[in-house]
Amino acid sequence: MFRAFYHLLLRDLRLAMRSPQEVVNPLIFFVLVVTLFPLAMTPSDALLQKLAPGVIWVSALLSVLLSLDRLFKQDYEDGSLDQLMLSPNPLVILVLAKVFAHWLLTGLPLVIVSPLLAMFMHVPDVALPTLLYSLLLGTPVLSLIGAIGVSLTVAVNRGGVLLSLIVLPLYIPVLIFAANAIDVASVGMSVRGQLLFLGAVLTLAVSLAPVATAAALRITASR
């Protein structure tokens, strides 16, 4: 079972390496969208700082949303998803492997690039660790919850907007607490509560989301 997890993870990572633009494009999108806000407003530094948590996090949301398609679409179209569902290994574990790979390829790069965006948006240095923690805890949740949405819409033609409609309301708690954590950290106050909440949501998502995703795949993608 762990071997299956490990092999599926490596397979997905290796496949992504063959078409790196699929990984790089959402990252560029992330940076681009954040850049658009100062351009649209010509704001003062103080205003940028106030907007920074929300702008960075909404852009991260949209970037992950854009990249969710790659989670199951290719496998659905070339038949590998059918193979996965026929495998003797529990589908929940296989789903977890794919979502983990997805996060390594889309969420983790966002975390790594975020200090650059912190500089763009004049996030104070004291808030930088919180920015990184919030993205580190939050982006896996985005991948996990996103996986539920993708599995529900994998068989729908042009289901991209439907996916957003399904998934964005579920992202709202993460958005609220993550953006607020950065906000509060910028004035030097403690963010233990917010980060604990994000950690709790991550734990809940890791345990429940793959189950829902596997169930959804069996409903929509079995032929």
Partner 1 sequence: MFRAIWAWIQKFSSPKYFFDMSGKMIPWFAIAAALLGIYGLYLGLFVAPTDYQQGESYRIIYIHVPAAWMSMFIYVVMAISAAIGLIWQIRLADMIAAASAPIGASFTFIALVTGSLWGKPMWGTYWVWDARLTSELILLFLYFAYMALQSAIEDQRAADKASGLLLIVGVVNIPIIVYSVQWWNTLHQGTTISITKDAIDIHMLIPLLLLAVAFKLYYAAVVLVRARNEVLYRDRSRRWVREIIEKL
Which residues in this chain contact partner 1 in the complex, by CB under 8 A? 148, 152-153, 155-156, 159, 162, 165-166, 168-170, 172-173, 176-177, 180, 201, 208, 212, 215-216, 219-220
- Select 128 or 155, whichever has its Cβ closest to partner 1: 155
Closest CA to 170 of 150, 196, 154: 150
Nearer to partner 1, 110 or 221 (CB): 221
CB of 132 to partner 1, least distance (A): 21
Q: Please, what is the angle between helix 160-186 and helix 45-67, to 10°?
A: 150
Q: State the nearest-atom distance from the C-beta of 169 to partner 1, in Å.
A: 5
Nearest to 222 by CA among 129, 139, 161, 155: 155
191/201 with CB nearer partner 1: 201
For residues 9 and 99, which CB has a smaller minimum distance to partner 1 in the complex? 99
Q: How far is Cα of residue 145 from the mean position of the Cα atoms in its chain? A: 8
For residues 37 and 56, what is the distance between their CA atoms, to the nearest angstrom? 10
CB of residue 56 to partner 1, shortest distance in Å = 17
Minimum Å gap between C-beta 144 and partner 1 is: 12
d(CA 196, CA 38): 31
User: Would you call 194 helix, strand, or coil by DSSP?
Assistant: helix
